[in-house]
Amino acid sequence: MSVSLPAGFTSWRFLVLPLAALSASDTPTVLLNTFWSREPGCDSGFGNLLARQLDLRGLRVLAACLTEKGAEQLRNQTSDRLQTVILDVTKTDSVAAATEWVKERVGDRDYLSGVPSSLSESLAFLLLCEQGLWGLVNNAGISTPTAPNEWLTKQDFVKILDVNLLGVIDVTLSVLPLVRKARGRVVNVSSIMGRVALLGGGYCMSKYGVEAFSDSLRRELSYFGVKVVMIEPGYFKTTVTSPKALSQGFQASWNQASPEIKELYGEKFMANLMKSVDLLETTSCQDLSLVTNCMEHALTACHPRTRYSPGWDAKFIYLPMSYLPSFLVDLMVYWRNPRPAKAL
């Protein structure tokens, strides 16, 4: 069995799994949950591409999709090694059924029996090897509702935190004994917005939480030979940065704001927010492989980095901003963002 390498990766750094020595029945198995968009056929983004990429590498992929149309599209683009299951992680019955489905296909080993039904609470990628769980990749991500904080309710924050942060923690703690047994990898997909909080709402907050959780976990697990890695993408064209979703989120938040808040900010502020969505669409990177190559490298390199920051904006704008004094970043944001109507 041969494994091709992404451009720019040298073999001595890349390959750690003894794939050539594995029989077909021993091929490492991947469980990849590609959910969160509820639009038919939109089981896409980083998860979809990673499933196809790992399938090309010869891995056995089990992909959990939210819609049958998305699952069918993925099966049509991959080999027979990839299997799909329909999963809505917001429904307990769906999660329990999908977990049983996975057990049937990977074998109900004793060390897997303790994993609770919350296994699929977030976007997660699990790589099963004979000595435990080699890799866990948490790829959860929703971005709306995002708006100035005063436009939002507590439930708006909870909605994002439940998926982006608490789901990551739940899945990680559930399978951590398996990863520790394999001396494997935990790869958490954060965001460059986990370094610089430029947006109101739960998104930046959730990504800061993922960063803190990953840092503490990495230090704790270093004693057991487990590596914890973060992926911090800039802006890429996925459902998370969809102009339609962001615009609808802004509008819904504006509609629920009190008359006092609307008077403070004004209609012009709202119009300028909508223009910023159009600008985001033109500047977002279309090459999602920049991110999935980082995910794959983090799982398979002998010496993975602690952090990967794919995207030109991450490297040349947001990372430098994160090292500047806070007052300078505050000034940059102050002059860059739209001004409320009643600003001083």
pLDDT for residue 52? 87
In a domain, 249, yes or no: no
Examine residue 251 and state whether it is found in any structural domain, yes or no: no
**pLDDT for the residue 245:** 85
330 inside domain: yes
Whichever domain contains 293, its CATH number is 3.40.50.720
**What pLDDT, on a 0 to 100 scale, did the predictor assign at position 89?**
65
Would residue 274 count as lying in a domain?
no
Whose structure tokens read 């091929």? 27
Number of structural domains in the chain = 1
What's the average pLDDT block by block, 10 residues per block, for the chain (344 residues)? 37 33 45 46 68 81 77 89 76 68 55 39 45 72 89 94 84 78 86 93 95 98 96 90 87 94 94 86 89 90 94 95 96 92 91
Nearest of 65, 61, 137 to residue 106 by alpha carbon: 61
Return the residue matching tokens 């819904």. 252
Query: Rounded CA gap, 288 and 303, in Å?
Result: 23
Taking CA atoms, 338 is separated from 23, 272, 284, 334, in Å, by 59, 6, 20, 8
Q: Provide the token pair at 157.
A: 């924050």
Closest by CA position to 35, among listed 89, 73, 74: 89
pLDDT score at 31: 56
Which is nearest to 340 in space by CA: 174, 150, 71? 150
Determine the structural domain holding residue 142 and report its residue range: 11-240+287-336
282: CB partners within 8 A, 6+ apart: none
130 inside domain: yes
Per DSSP bridges, beta strands 60-65 and 185-189 are unpaired
Is 227 among the domain residues?
yes
Q: How far apart are CA 304 and CA 295, in angstroms?
A: 10
Cα–Cα distance list, 62 to 18, 32, 89, 97, 231 (Å): 21, 6, 16, 14, 22
Q: Is residue 254 part of a domain?
A: no
Per-residue pLDDT, 32: 57
pTM of the full structure: 0.79
The owner of tokens 């049958």 is 68
Question: Residue 4 falls within a domain, yes or no?
Answer: no
Work out the number of other CB atoms within 10 angstroms of the CB of residue 21.
8
Catalytic residues: 203
